Amino acid sequence: MSSSSTSSWSDDLTIKTLAKERENPAFDIRKMSIVQHGSEKDLEKKEKFMLEASRDPIFYSGDIYDLTKEQIRERTMQRIQRLAHYVTSESVDDFQKRMELMSLLDPGLWTRLGVHYGLFLGALRSGATPNQFSYWMEKGVIGCNGMFGCFGMTELAHGSNVAGLETTSTFDEQTDEFVVHTPNLGATKWWIGGAAHTATHCAVFAQLIIKGKKHGTKTFVVPLRDPKTYQLLPGINIGDIGKKMGRDGIDNGYIQFTNVRIPRAYMLMKHTQVTREGEVREPPLQQLTYGALLQGRTAMVADAANTAKKALTISVRYAAVRRQFKSDPKAGLETQILDYPIHQRRLMPLLAQSVAFGFTALELQRLFDETSQALEALEPGDPNLEATIEMLKETHATSAGLKAFCTWATLETIEKSRQACGGHGYSSYNGFANMYSDFAVHCTWEGDNHILALQSGRSLIAQYQDAVEGKKLSAGTGYLNNIEQVLAAKCPSDAALDTLDGIDRGWATVAAHAVKKAADDYQSRLKAGRSREQAFEDCSQVRFVAASVHTSGYIFRQFRAAVERVEKSGDGVREQLELLAKFYGLWQMEEKAAFFLRSGWLSPSQLDVVQAKVTEYCAATRQFAIPLVDSFAISDHVLNSPIGRYDGDIYREYFRMVRRNNPQLKAHPYFDRLIKPFIERQAAEVEDFDEAIGIDEEIEEIKQDREEAEAEAKAEAAAKKEEAKKEV
Amino acid sequence: MSSSSTSSWSDDLTIKTLAKERENPAFDIRKMSIVQHGSEKDLEKKEKFMLEASRDPIFYSGDIYDLTKEQIRERTMQRIQRLAHYVTSESVDDFQKRMELMSLLDPGLWTRLGVHYGLFLGALRSGATPNQFSYWMEKGVIGCNGMFGCFGMTELAHGSNVAGLETTSTFDEQTDEFVVHTPNLGATKWWIGGAAHTATHCAVFAQLIIKGKKHGTKTFVVPLRDPKTYQLLPGINIGDIGKKMGRDGIDNGYIQFTNVRIPRAYMLMKHTQVTREGEVREPPLQQLTYGALLQGRTAMVADAANTAKKALTISVRYAAVRRQFKSDPKAGLETQILDYPIHQRRLMPLLAQSVAFGFTALELQRLFDETSQALEALEPGDPNLEATIEMLKETHATSAGLKAFCTWATLETIEKSRQACGGHGYSSYNGFANMYSDFAVHCTWEGDNHILALQSGRSLIAQYQDAVEGKKLSAGTGYLNNIEQVLAAKCPSDAALDTLDGIDRGWATVAAHAVKKAADDYQSRLKAGRSREQAFEDCSQVRFVAASVHTSGYIFRQFRAAVERVEKSGDGVREQLELLAKFYGLWQMEEKAAFFLRSGWLSPSQLDVVQAKVTEYCAATRQFAIPLVDSFAISDHVLNSPIGRYDGDIYREYFRMVRRNNPQLKAHPYFDRLIKPFIERQAAEVEDFDEAIGIDEEIEEIKQDREEAEAEAKAEAAAKKEEAKKEV
């Protein structure tokens, strides 16, 4: 339809509006994009993967929002087959990058493949002896040839507490086998990704029992299905656990084992060994096994950054082309909603935060690589042992806090982005509904966010004690060094609030206060006679707060460091990134203002300055908001959201997508069956049953009959009485 | 399966655990329930409706989480037919109460029926003349006999801005008709509930145009379909807008009008009239028309309270029966997660908040009834006119803020409840997934929450001016009276923080500061030469904050007032409600602590007292958490969540529900088609094409040939040169 003369709406207005936003950008967009992706090579790699996916019919996503769970699962299986091609044909690093993109494009697919390559293969890598690993390699584990693995940890009645799992694996010395068994309903393996349709083998977490004695939870590879027929093996019961909030592409299932026998060599024995005689050999260093957790968290922080950028690309572009109300009634066009200060307040801080998360994810990946290399290089009796364990501990605590607070913040970002798109945000076709429901599980799996935050808080208390005792802390908690000085610091001037260093100092002081509060509360509980575990529980809320404030400060520092690594070369990148970093630091200060006032680092009037600056930075960021989301480099195919299109042609494309997925039917789907009888039924006329039956006359007759009978009875009785009197 | 001797898990443990939680409750549960429902009669009514629904096969919900969009829509149509029975057979008040319950049981159904009874019929009630109303009554509008209405306000490119809608309705004097027309794609009516499958008529918002002149947006009843066949009428184009985040039961559609002619009398003319000659008569009092908005908001605040209680009934019961980790390794059973202080921190404040919302909803309903009666009683030239308009304005502003902040808080409550249930919260069968996606739209429709919060803030600025000028303000903003005194107040003592009155005073002072800040900023923008509209935009963030703080205080006051109406009769109800009210007030104080410190009402060390008290109240509320959620009186049928069952038998019922909805298949759904070719494919062997083709030898030959040819050419050239030399 073309625009009529009475209308201010024109078909190309949205396209022109977005083009205008890209004129004279405040920075070199390509350069800005490279900096955020770590290197030009990494950006090019991502672009290559996006191009390949967008042209591959298996990755067509135009119909994805209307598929049933069953259809999505089949589609996902097809995609798995496609990706398996790349596993064997490209480098591990390239494949990891490809998977990072897949997580953004199709989170269910990422999970389903991740169950095999991340969890199952990861369990083998960290738990199998070299010979065991070779055995499974020969079986085809790398290319999914003849086998597909799943990961049997959680049970119906047990989640986080691995030590409390109840599935048993009992050694039978006679046959040299383990007998894997589900002793009760609550011990049913639950939520097992890939179990319902895909897996042939499972890495089962079970209590090792030998000669009636429990030896704790170990991992056993248990065959589930005949790979030739996919029939369940004897003693295996598997069912589909069905509909979930999101990620329908992954076939989660339950598994019950009934006296299932496996060879002794199917227990992973890198750490604990069980000999032919049933002797148990425990490893000297239990800690080193938890390095495996880091990979998942590192991937999730990256996913949090990427997903926040995806959501904001849509909501910010929509805010630029959507118009509503006029500030001046005589103005020709309505105002772009991105020009309203309140709309800037809704989205711009989240934009700065997503960039902060991106840099933090790059740093965490670096830390993870460094830690992994150090771990791999470690030999028994190594002099670097203590240093490596310290590094692992710190990376562990840092990643715990980051996983928790970044995934929470991104979930909120998705929801706020959706709300910022008004009604159209509620349409599935614009992507937020699935993005939210797919992402939400990040707050729960691989460690519930609250539990992880508390772990981070517990580690901070320990670090604080070290600092007080004069031990020098490294990077992540370095601000706790010179603790007295840091605690006593105050914001020196309003001007300090406009520098990276000034803001950094504020976070150091306020985080130090939060950590001190947690450490003090913990100590006072100990003094009150509580056990260590009780004392930690008692002060869980302050521990939580310490982790929260510490993590915001940590993220700000990563952002600052990333900015300071960028050269000043006149292309605007360094300058605008610096603006965004200050913006993030100040906005988080405003969000957590009570702690800044409480610690005395900010005076009340300085808080007003912070608030005014945040509003100012909202307006400044709005000026380059479109070039900034362009620099996130997320293709229209990955966005899969017509209102977030790069070219701004949002309404036509949205209309097309809705029509394509909901063709107008020739016949009404249930008119004859349901609507016709309803709409044509007679208006309810309450028939007067009383009158038709004549119930009232009848009642009256009954009453009269009764009265007559009574009168008769009375008369009779009176007569009798009279007679009796006469007789007496 | 029965429990084995090696296991601490027993089939009935969860049942016994929940039963134990109900021993010696801190209050009379029935009495507590009555107080929260307003009266015993209202509670009994709700129980009656719940019983009826649970026994009616049409309201069977055990399979609801696995239905496709198409199936849900049919199911919803069947339920509509059932409910239409009650519309005509019970009182308006009873039917409204029934609908309030339906909103909790099936939000899509509530919407689909609400489109006809709330919006379409509401448009007739507020916009039709008496004769027009009688006409539509005779057509069958009350019983949906021969017609079903929908509400055509929003357009693809226009939402909140009703004045900016572009659909036109042009008067044709020749034929005495209006011509309704969609001038461009952006003017397509969009999101129209009931349009796709159900509606025969639409209340269309369109620009009235007479003799080329625009007269603003008016409402027109436009027939869409032939009720005998449900074929679209000439000029009507309707399509399904398909998949949404939630509420799939309602068939939202788009509508395009192409020169559709309707009689002049189909324009609703209670306010504006158009005569046969095309003369337009405007109403004297435009304001009175927006009373209609209040009903939707009132219902949504009640829904926010009810839905929060529903989510918390599930998460709190689950937390009581779920066990994880042991605080003492020698303890027999793992700890109930509700006993962890951090878990109490996650859920208990939300529990207090949901009770606060419930009382606030009752008060808003009272205000709405009062306002409606006053409006209906109003005659032209009435001396009560000004007072009534004031009352309407205040109710309007109050309800705007309440709708925004209560729906936001409940959406968060659902998500936090879901997360508190760990992995099982992510299963659709436990109810949170649908609850979240259904509820989320409350933040957007009937006024985007941000816009409504700003309206509330704008009204507060006006009230503040009135207060400064010495005008006496009524109930809702009464704390602004004696403004100087209120602003200067400080928390007198720690003890004051443990009284309803003390907490109330704190909220008064802090809300007054927030409102003053907004009013001052607004005035300073005016003085800087900005127009009123610009000044309001400039200070939108402080307006937003003012509305937020004001609304928390308002809710606390409603809670306090409700508590103080309850007699002290030794049954514990009054005492525990008072505890919950203080808890809510202090927790919100902690949440918004920066404002309490900034205003000076709390000193830093008093904030520590508040935080300690909140932790203490979390533990206190935990003691009666199960009896409290029982008092919410939500049946298992309405909860529809096995982990939230009243009897605590969560795992068996969850397992049963999953199995019932996902029967184990005889054959794998796509083994032959997809998995077999994948898993049995040959491991990728990279063939050496170079060697097979012998390309390297070939290249070498080509090279040699070329070199020979070159050497020959050179020799030839040299020979020629030599010859030429000789010739010279």
Three-state SS string over B545-602 comes to HHHHHHHHHHHHHHHHHHHHHCCCCCCCHHHHHHHHHHHHHHHHHHHCHHHHHHCCCC
Q: Does residue B699 surpass a pLDDT of 90?
A: no
Q: What percent of chain A has pLDDT over 70?
A: 96
Across-strand partners of B232? B225
The pLDDT of residue A508 is 97
The pLDDT of residue B371 is 86
Q: How far apart are CA A22 and CA A17, in angstroms?
A: 9
Query: How confident is the model over A38-65, as a mean pLDDT?
Result: 97
- A3 falls in which pLDDT band (50, 70, 90)? very low
Of B624, B467, B528, B446, which Cα lies nearest the Cα of B29? Answer: B624
Query: B541 vs A341: CB contact, 8 Å cut-off?
Result: yes
- A26 falls in which pLDDT band (50, 70, 90)? very high
C-alpha distances (whole Å) from B317 to each of A387, B498, B536, B626 are 46, 29, 46, 7
Q: Which of A464-468, B138-142, B227-231, B381-385 has the lowest mean pLDDT?
A: B381-385
Choose which CATH entry (1.10.3720.10, 3.30.300.20, 2.130.10.10, 2.40.110.10) describes domain A148-284.
Answer: 2.40.110.10
Q: What percent of chain A has pLDDT over 90?
A: 80
Element (H, E) at A152: strand A149-152
The pLDDT of residue B290 is 58
Q: How far apart are CA B237 and CA B254, in angstroms?
A: 8
CATH topology for the B459-608 domain: Butyryl-CoA Dehydrogenase, subunit A; domain 3 (1.20.140)
The pLDDT of residue A302 is 98
Q: What is the mean pLDDT of chain B?
A: 93
The pLDDT of residue B473 is 85
Which chain B residue has its CA at the smallest distance from A657's CA? B241
Q: Kindly indicate whether the ipTM for this predicted assembly is greater than 0.85, answering yes or no.
A: yes
Q: Which residues of A touch B664 (CB under 8 A)?
A: 238-240
| Chain A contact present for B641, CB below 8 A | no
Whether B154 has a binding-site annotation, put simply, is yes
Q: What is the mean pLDDT of chain A?
A: 93
C-alpha distances (whole Å) from A218 to each of A127, A205, A207, A447, A540 are 9, 6, 6, 19, 30
Element (H, E) at B344: helix B341-377
Cβ neighbours, 10 Å, residue B303? 22
Q: How far apart are CA A320 and CA A448, in angstroms?
A: 37
| Chain A contact present for B416, CB below 8 A | no
Q: Which of A237-246, A603-612, B120-129, B471-480 has the lowest mean pLDDT?
A: B471-480
Q: Does residue A287 surpass a pLDDT of 70?
A: no
Each residue's pLDDT tens digit, A674-711: 999 999 987 655 567 777 778 888 888 888 888 898 89
Query: B598 vs A615: CB contact, 8 Å cut-off?
Result: no
Q: Does residue B214 surpass a pLDDT of 80?
A: yes
Please identify every residue of B annotated as catalytic: 446
Query: How confident is the model over A648-666, as a mean pLDDT?
Result: 95
The full DSSP string for B166-222 is: --EEEEETTTTEEEEE--SGGGSEEEETTTTTT-SEEEEEEEEEETTEEEEEEEEEE
Q: How far apart are CA B90 and CA B295, in angstroms?
A: 20
The pLDDT of residue B114 is 94
Q: Which of A146, A445, A679 sits opposite B144 (nearest CB)?
A: A679
The pLDDT of residue B483 is 92
Each residue's pLDDT tens digit, A531-570: 999 999 999 999 999 999 999 999 999 999 999 999 999 9
Both tokens of residue A21? 């936003």
The pLDDT of residue B689 is 76
Which chain A residue has its CA at the smallest distance from B339's CA? A537
Q: Which of A709-718, B167-176, B323-332 has the lowest mean pLDDT?
A: B323-332
Query: B426 vs A245: CB contact, 8 Å cut-off?
Result: yes
Query: B190 vs A423: CB contact, 8 Å cut-off?
Result: yes
**A-contacting residues of B 469-528, CB under 8 Å?**
none
B140 Cα distance to chain centroid: 32
Nearest chain B CA: its distance from A681 CA (Å):
7
Query: Best residue in A679, A680, A687 to probe B by mutation, most B CBs within 10 Å?
Result: A679
Q: Does residue B340 surpass a pLDDT of 50?
A: yes
| Chain B contact present for A667, CB below 8 A | no
Q: Does residue B376 surpass a pLDDT of 90?
A: no
Q: Does residue B287 surpass a pLDDT of 80?
A: no
Query: How confident is the model over B658-679, as a mean pLDDT?
Result: 93
Of B491, B513, B452, which Cα lies nearest the Cα of B585? Answer: B491
Q: Which of A159, A241, A615 sits opposite B662 (nearest CB)?
A: A241
Both tokens of residue B425? 């919260």
Q: Does residue A329 surpass a pLDDT of 80?
A: no
B667 vs A615: which has the higher pLDDT: A615
Burial of B159 (0-12, 13-18, 19+ CB in 10 A): buried
Query: B327 vs A533: CB contact, 8 Å cut-off?
Result: yes
B598: CB partners within 8 A, 6+ apart: A593, A597, A604, A607, B513
Does residue A224 sit in helix, strand or coil?
A: coil
Query: How confident is the model over A81-86, as a mean pLDDT?
Result: 91
Cβ neighbours, 10 Å, residue A23? 8
CATH homologous superfamily of domain A459-623? Butyryl-CoA Dehydrogenase, subunit A, domain 3 (1.20.140.10)
Query: Best residue in B549, B658, B672 to probe A by mutation, most A CBs within 10 Å?
Result: B658
The pLDDT of residue B9 is 56
- A159 falls in which pLDDT band (50, 70, 90)? confident
What secondary structure, in 3-state letters, does A469-523 show? Answer: CCCCCCHHHHHHCCHHHHHHCCCCCHHHHHCHHHHHHHHHHHHHHHHHHHHHHHH
Q: Please list, residue by residue across A665-684, b when 16 or more beta carbons sit within 10 angstroms of its beta carbon and e when fewer do.
A: eeebbebeebbbebbeeeee
Which chain B residue has its CA at the smallest distance from A654's CA? B156
Both tokens of residue B7? 């296991």
Classify domain B56-283 by CATH number. 2.40.110.10
The pLDDT of residue B85 is 87
The full DSSP string for A658-680 is: HHHHSPPPSS-SSIIIIIHHHHT
Each residue's pLDDT tens digit, B155-197: 999 877 888 999 999 999 999 999 999 999 999 999 999 999 9
Query: How confident is the model over A169-197, as a mean pLDDT?
Result: 97
Query: How confident is the model over A114-140, as a mean pLDDT?
Result: 94
Whether B193 has a binding-site annotation, put simply, is yes
Which chain A residue has its CA at the smallest distance from B212's CA? A6
Q: Which of A56-65, A636-645, B105-114, B665-674 has the lowest mean pLDDT?
A: B665-674
Q: Which of A318-332, A494-508, B30-44, B707-721 has the lowest mean pLDDT?
A: A318-332
Q: How far apart are CA A482 and CA A471, in angstroms?
A: 10
Query: How confident is the model over B318-345, as a mean pLDDT?
Result: 89
Given A155, A394, A446, A578, the catalytic residue: A446
Query: A432 vs B245: CB contact, 8 Å cut-off?
Result: yes
- B1 falls in which pLDDT band (50, 70, 90)? very low
| Chain A contact present for B561, CB below 8 A | no
Does residue B693 sit in helix, strand or coil?
A: helix
- A4 falls in which pLDDT band (50, 70, 90)? very low
List the domain boundaries for chain A: 148-284, 459-623, 689-723
Identity of the residue numbered B405: F
Within A328-395, strands assigned E span none
Q: Which of A185, A449, A673 sits opposite B655 (nearest CB)?
A: A185
Q: Does residue A481 contact residue A473 with C-beta atoms inside 8 Å?
A: yes
The pLDDT of residue A6 is 37
For residue B529, the 8-state DSSP code is T
Which chain B residue has its CA at the smallest distance from A76's CA? B674
Q: Does residue B341 contact residue B355 with C-beta atoms inside 8 Å?
A: no
- A472 falls in which pLDDT band (50, 70, 90)? confident
| Chain A contact present for B598, CB below 8 A | yes
Query: A422 vs B429: CB contact, 8 Å cut-off?
Result: no
B295 Cα distance to chain centroid: 15
Q: Which residues of B touch A669 (CB under 8 A)?
A: 70, 73-74, 197
Q: Does residue A199 surpass a pLDDT of 90?
A: yes
Q: Which residues of B touch A228 (CB under 8 A)?
A: 680
Of A193, A430, A186, A402, which Cα lies nearest the Cα of A296? Answer: A402
- B474 falls in which pLDDT band (50, 70, 90)? confident
- A286 falls in which pLDDT band (50, 70, 90)? low
| Chain B contact present for A138, CB below 8 A | no
Residue length of chain A: 728
Query: B243 vs A182: CB contact, 8 Å cut-off?
Result: no
Helix ranges restricted to H, A90-148? 92-105, 107-114, 121-127, 130-139
- A721 falls in which pLDDT band (50, 70, 90)? confident
The reply to whether A148-284 and A459-623 are identical in fold is no
Q: How far apart are CA A365 and CA A402, in angstroms?
A: 12
